[in-house]
Amino acid sequence: MDSVNPETLSAGAIFGLPSADLPAWVLQVSGLAMRTAHQTLDDAWARPADFAATSPSLLAAAAVLQQVAGLMQGLPASRKLLAATSQALQDLARQPSAINQDKVEAIRRANFALLAYATQPGDASPSSPMALFPAYRKLQQINGALRIHPADLWHCEWRWLELPADELAAALDPIAARLPFEAAMLRYLRAPDSVHAMRLGDQCAGLAAGHAQPRSRTFWHLAAALFEAQADGLLSTDLYVKRAAARLLTQLRQTEQGDAALPESLALDLLFFCLQAAANGKPGPRLQVLLSRYGDDQGLAFSYEDDSSLVLPDLSGSRQVPGSALHQLRADLTGVERQADACCIDPSQTQRLLPLSAQLSSMRKLLGEQGFDQAALACLRIRVEVEELTMLDAASGASELRLLLERHAANLGALALVLDMAALDPVMAKRLLRFNPASGNLEVRIDSQAAPLLTLVPAPALQQVDAPALSENDEAVRVIGSLRISIALFNVFLNESDELSRHLCMTLAEWASHLTGPVPAEAQALAMALAANAEAVGFRAVALLAEELAQALGRAAQVEGYSQADGQLFVKASEDIRYLLHQFAAGFLRAHDAGLLASLQAYPEVLAAALPAGQAPI
């Protein structure tokens, strides 16, 4: 068919990848972005007296979501919903005092509508992109968008196609038909019943027959088919249909300008409504002619006025998981992540594994009590493997520890997503993940399948000198160190991260050359976006370094006056991030500078201690 909606196709059909590959990493990156946005908004709403301090974090969350939107070029509805969310966050960052509960819940609902849309169970009816429109409309209303239309979430490569002539239509002269058409349109707008719709349809068919120019004939045939569908009861007359009909008046008044003045946007809206009508019942003769050239789209059979085809979280405030349990789980997970980062910095200190084991045990118990059995199994696996390492000597344990933490980095990110989901919809959170005992990975359920959040090379293969041999099914995979990443994700990550790191280096270098103003808020947003991107592909070295840089920049914003050492530290961190990315592009998985990471973590105390006596910040 001529109009194809890629949202109704499998991810593999869109990108030429295995069907389970793309949704896994799209969901992982989306989950990281959602987590950033939700935590930032919750913190901002919880501290209304300190709204101004939340702007950098909101900008960072907006940057992360914008990056995720960039990953979804083949999924227009998802991409536009995320772009609208990013715009809302940017506006709130510019005016934090405008944050209110309605806007917070609108953003939260939009994010979880997207997640529900992407993770429908295999035995459920497929969701249409139109199911995202209620959430999209609410966000665009908050954003003050000039156009809010369900066709915005529909994908069609528009083409002017010549249609067969309507032999039953009496040709009308556009100039002579203008006044009768205006009178008929006014009656229709006042009372859009089948009689008035059919009368307008006949007039539009006459206008199509009276035009010598092929595009004008197609345009007015689209309008005739729309009114025919309304007269046949296949299309409701809502605000969007009425607006499209009213725009026909303006077009008829400009008819002397010919084909050059035909608005493709209006033609596309007319086609959208015609195809939606065709999906709702048996089409009439004019609509059948249209379908013979433009095809149909069953994805438009769903109503865009509600999201009933999606299983959305209950945002009313009732929560099935006690807040105290979620608070404890989040605290334990934060402790595990920090302890794991500390172990990465100095893997020889295997005694640090003991508190890590205790925290994982606590998490496993709480997750089991709340019914998150799959997540509890993942915690158990990590704890068992951690305890096994404590039996090794320092040298052996150090090398094994690094591999273990790299292998379970994606699992820790998945656990964070589960906890965010559990706060709103425990049922969806439990349905989203499955633990695979063979691989030790938490896997995302995609329809009837499950896909790992990040695929890693098995441990034995890591001992080989050469890169592991790829099977015939691994042509679309790039192997870098311990990571196996789809070529699509690898290319997107490099393109996005290269631009982010370049901008970060330039921003910090320019600031460091003067040190006359506060640290640019944009630098923190760029660093957080880099951290999220790197975390999504499992590049922990860049993720850790970028995250610590972002946090240090946030603390620097509270400092009065800066020394040259401040500028040197931040510039060095940005340059190291760019170096690691270049090495990654060349196929090397390098470690970060442990000393640099420690300096960022200790900022600003480490620099104050390093200043000679009597030297004050600039």
221 in helix, strand or coil? helix
| pLDDT value, residue 519 | 86
213 in helix, strand or coil? coil
Provide the pLDDT confidence category of residue 212 given band limits of 50, 70 and 90. confident
Is the previous residue joined to 604 through a cis bond, with omega within 30 degrees of 0?
yes
How does pLDDT run across 24-46, given as a tens digit for each residue?
A: 555 555 666 666 677 777 777 76
pTM over 0.75: no
The answer on pLDDT for 67 being more than 90 is no
Assigned token pair, 587: 């196929």
Convert 123-151 into a string of H (helix), E (strand) and C (coil).
Answer: CCCCCCHHHHHHHHHHHHHHHCCCCCCHH
Taking the C-alpha atoms of residue 273 and residue 293, their distance in angstroms, rounded to an integer, is: 16
Q: Phi/psi of residue 445, each to 5°?
A: -75, 120
Where on the phi/psi map is residue 427: left (φ > 0), alpha (ψ -120 to 50), or beta? alpha
| pLDDT value, residue 140 | 93
How does pLDDT run across 252-279, given as a tens digit for each residue?
A: 887 765 555 788 889 999 999 999 898 8
8 A C-beta contact, residue 95 and residue 127: no
Provide the pLDDT confidence category of residue 60 given band limits of 50, 70 and 90. confident
The answer on pLDDT for 180 being more than 50 is yes
Asked if the domains 323-455 and 487-610 are classified in one and the same CATH topology, the answer is yes
For residues 536-554, average pLDDT: 86
The answer on pLDDT for 20 being more than 50 is no
| H or E segment to which residue 443 belongs | strand 441-446
Using CB atoms within 10 Å of the CB of residue 21, give its burial: 0 to 12 exposed, 13 to 18 middle, 19+ buried: buried
For residues 5-13, average pLDDT: 32
468: CB partners within 8 A, 6+ apart: 457, 461, 479
| pLDDT value, residue 359 | 82
8 A C-beta contact, residue 149 and residue 269: yes
The answer on pLDDT for 490 being more than 60 is yes
How does pLDDT run across 230-249, given as a tens digit for each residue?
A: 999 999 888 899 889 888 98
How does pLDDT run across 288-332, given as a tens digit for each residue?
A: 999 999 987 766 666 787 755 565 554 444 445 666 777 788 788
Q: State the sign of the Cα–Cα–Cα–Cα dihedral 237, 243, 248, 250.
A: positive
- Kindly list the distances between the CA atom of residue 476 and the CA atoms of 122, 456, 470, 480, 583, in Å, as whole numbers in the listed order: 25, 15, 10, 13, 21
Taking the C-alpha atoms of residue 320 and residue 423, their distance in angstroms, rounded to an integer, is: 8
257: CB partners within 8 A, 6+ apart: none
The answer on pLDDT for 92 being more than 70 is yes
Provide the pLDDT confidence category of residue 531 given band limits of 50, 70 and 90. confident
Taking the C-alpha atoms of residue 492 and residue 71, their distance in angstroms, rounded to an integer, is: 7
Taking the C-alpha atoms of residue 456 and residue 475, their distance in angstroms, rounded to an integer, is: 16
Mean pLDDT taken over the chain: 75
Assigned token pair, 595: 């000393």
| pLDDT value, residue 425 | 61
User: What DSSP character marks residue 447?
Assistant: B
Cβ count near 371 (within 10 Å): 16
How does pLDDT run across 342-371, given as a tens digit for each residue?
A: 776 666 666 666 777 778 888 888 888 888
For residues 108-137, average pLDDT: 73
Q: Phi/psi of residue 522, each to 5°?
A: -60, -35
Q: Which residue has the higher pLDDT, 334 or 215?
A: 215
| pLDDT value, residue 360 | 84
Assigned token pair, 500: 């982010």
| CATH 1.10.405 holds for 323-455 | no
**Which has the closest alpha carbon to 4: 154, 151, 218, 222?**
154
The answer on pLDDT for 381 being more than 50 is yes
CATH number of 487-610: 1.20.120.160
| pLDDT value, residue 23 | 45
- Kindly list the distances between the CA atom of residue 410 and the CA atoms of 311, 364, 406, 525, in Å, as whole numbers in the listed order: 26, 17, 8, 23
Domain ranges, ordered by start, for the chain: 6-153, 174-296, 323-455, 487-610
Using CB atoms within 10 Å of the CB of residue 402, give its burial: 0 to 12 exposed, 13 to 18 middle, 19+ buried: middle
The answer on pLDDT for 286 being more than 80 is yes
Taking the C-alpha atoms of residue 89 and residue 65, their distance in angstroms, rounded to an integer, is: 9
Provide the pLDDT confidence category of residue 391 given band limits of 50, 70 and 90. low
